[in-house]
Amino acid sequence: MSKKIKTAHSIINGQPYESTTMLEVQNPADESLIAKVSEVDTRAAENALNYANACFIELKETTAQARGDILYRWYELILQNKVRLAELVTQEQGKPLKEALAEVAYAAGYVKWFAQEAERAYGSMIPAHTAFHQISTVKQGVGVVVGITPWNFPLAMITRKVAPAYAAGCSFILKPSELTPLSAIELAKLALDAGFESAAFQVLVTSKPQDLVKQLNSHPTVRKLTFTGSTAVGKLLLEQTAQSVMRTSLELGGNAPFIVFESANLEAALEGLMIAKFRNAGQTCIAANRVLLHRNIKHQFIEMLKTRLSALTIGNGNSDDVDLGPLINSAAKQKALNLVLNAGQQGANVVYQGDSMQGNYMSPVILENVEQTMAIYCAEIFAPVVSVIEFETEEQAIQLANEVEVGLAAYIYSTNSEQLHRASLALDFAMIGLNEGAISNPAAPFGGMKQSGLGREGGAQGIDEYLEVKYLCQRFN
């Protein structure tokens, strides 16, 4: 029996956009075709930009309270549709259903957070320099925002951009990943149902992202770009946005060290690593990329990890018992296998490898004796590969951890609170888990130092990325 292929549409000014050019969306579990989505052309994108500009002017007439209320309704609708959304995420992205449900809650969490933050975009009064002046600041939405989002969290990476933008009074044009456009479209439909103005959140789907992004980034009405993706692409985008000195936030690649000191509670460290490494089959930018183990606990920890990995169920994420779904596509798997092969050729040992390697599935691998000269040390692995590096002293661990160009997340396990404090200050990473492997939280500022990006998402800081501070100097005589 043939499976039903869905048809979905880009959304322009609140309406489905009909096109003869259709993007095909596959299920990474078996590479079957699940949907065809209408792609925008240059003219459609130009229309979307004009609608977004008109909508930004319309949004100026709305209050922060009203936008907060609409965001709150969007939050409720996302939760009411959580099973349907989670099933869609699993279908187009591959993560196990239980993780997809967690992503729905995470995505909704950003909407709730910014529904509340909308009312807190305070200005300020500044002590004046004369008795007849009043000096103040107000915050206003920056303008039309373009967002480019990745496939690894097809819901949460969108809500953590669209929700603060809307809270700030900005209209938003989204170019979702061409691998996972369906979740984006469903989110936008729910936003419209919640009361978003018709062009406040438009979704432009394309299989030629470079052309579309160039068009959007060079358009005079666009005042802000927000991107989550690789450092390499982030650098290219920054060159484009430099042309109009456009506000730009970038959430780019990571290379998280996961440091287990000698005093660590190894059971707790193992629990933390299972989340920090294996969430979404390792396809997160905050994934533990280099596992630094103190030489005295290394052997024991690796044995504990092997036992744990051998109990994992790998398979299609739509089954309830699955722990590890497929990688997003064959290219992602090949990249990870090449990194493992290359490390092996340079002296690393594969000390564990499971046997589920069909299609896009990849069993966990543990690689021991990884060194700085190997490609896997610097690359973002984005796969269930545990790359182990041994250390002896705290100074050595910190030095090894910091000797990379990026600085997104890091994890430290120790029962010595002074050591935790010292190490957290010494690490050049913007987000640090201290005896904790799950650090993602809408209330916290998410972002990176060094080549991991610019700006923060979530937390009290997240809305500022979409606001201009305007200074008013009023004279009274």
Q: Which residues are catalytic?
A: 251, 285
Beta bridge pairs of residue 328: none
Residue 35 or 233: the one with the smaller Cβ distance to ligand SIN is 233
Among the listed ranges 41-49, 280-288, 392-400, 463-471, the one in contact with ligand SIN (CB under 6 A) is 280-288
Q: Is 19 or 435 the residue whose CB approaches ligand SIN more closely?
A: 435
Parallel, antiparallel, or unpaired for β 222-228 and 247-251? parallel
Radius of gyration of the chain (CA): 23
One residue of 149, 152, 215, 452 binding ligand SIN per CB under 6 A: 152
Shortest distance (Å) from residue 152 CB to ligand SIN: 5
Query: Which region among 40-48, 118-126, 148-156, 200-208 touches ligand SIN (by CB under 6 A)?
Result: 148-156
CB nearer to ligand SIN: pick between 159 and 206: 159
Report DSSP state, residue 63.
-
Parallel, antiparallel or unpaired: strands 22-27 and 32-38? antiparallel
Beta carbon nearer to ligand SIN, 55 or 148:
148
- Determine the size of the site formed for ligand SIN (CB under 6 A): 9
Bridge partners (DSSP) listed for residue 228: 251
Q: Is 382 helix (H, G, I), strand (E, B) or coil?
A: coil
Closer to ligand SIN by Cβ: residue 174 or 286: 286
Q: Please identify which residue in 284, 360, 414, 452 interacts with ligand SIN, judged by CB under 6 A.
A: 284
- Residue whose C-alpha is closest to residue 219's, from 48, 8, 466: 48
Among 153, 278, 391, 413, binds ligand SIN (CB under 6 A): 153
* Residue 76 φ then ψ, to 5°: -65, -40
Binding mask 424-443 for ligand SIN (x = CB under 6 A): ----------------x---
Among 276, 285, 400, 410, binds ligand SIN (CB under 6 A): 285
Q: How many residues does the chain have?
A: 477
CA 317 to chain centre: 20
Q: Does 398 bind ligand SIN (CB under 6 A)?
A: no
- Indicate the angle between helix axes 64-80 and 97-117, nearest 10 degrees: 170
Which residue has its beta carbon closest to ligand SIN? 440
d(CA 434, CA 342): 32
- Integer Cα distance of 3 and 150 in angstroms: 27
The H-assigned helical ranges of 379-430 are 394-402, 417-426
**Segment interacting with ligand SIN (CB under 6 A) among 150-158, 177-185, 188-196, 205-213:** 150-158
Residue 255 touches ligand SIN, criterion: CB under 6 A = no
148 binds ligand SIN (CB under 6 A): no
One symbol per residue from 443 to 462: x for binding ligand SIN (CB under 6 A), - otherwise; what is it?
A: ---x----------------
Q: Where are the beta strands (DSSP E) in 156-240?
A: 172-175, 201-203, 222-228
DSSP string for 16-61: EEP-S-EEEEEETTTTEEEEEEEPP-HHHHHHHHHHHHHHHHHHTT
Is position 411 an interface residue for ligand SIN (rule: CB under 6 A)? no
Angle at 103 between CA 101 and CA 108, to 5 degrees: 100
Residue in 10, 149, 228, 255 binding ligand SIN, rule: CB under 6 A: 228
Residue numbers 155-174 binding ligand SIN by CB under 6 A: 156
**Min dist. Cβ of residue 386 to ligand SIN (A):** 18
Q: Using alpha carbons only, what angle is made at residue 18 by residues 12 and 19, rounded to the nearest 5 degrees?
A: 115
38 touches ligand SIN by CB under 6 A: no
User: Which of 164, 182, 183, 174 lies closest to 115, judged by CA?
Assistant: 164
CB nearer ligand SIN, residue 206 or residue 228: 228
- Using DSSP's 3-state secondary structure scheme, residue 109 falls into helix
Instruction: State how far the alpha carbon of 473 is from the alpha carbons of 15, 134, 138, in Å.
Output: 43, 6, 11
Q: Is residue 286 within the footprint of ligand SIN (CB under 6 A)?
A: yes
Nearer Cβ to ligand SIN (161/298): 161
Confirm or reject binding of residue 149 to ligand SIN (CB under 6 A). Answer: no
Least spacing, CB of residue 411 vs ligand SIN, in Å: 13
- Nearest approach in angstroms of CB 313 to ligand SIN is 23
- Between residues 53 and 226, which has the closer beta carbon with respect to ligand SIN? 226
User: By the criterion CB under 6 A, which residues form the site for ligand SIN?
Assistant: 152-153, 156, 228, 284-286, 440, 446
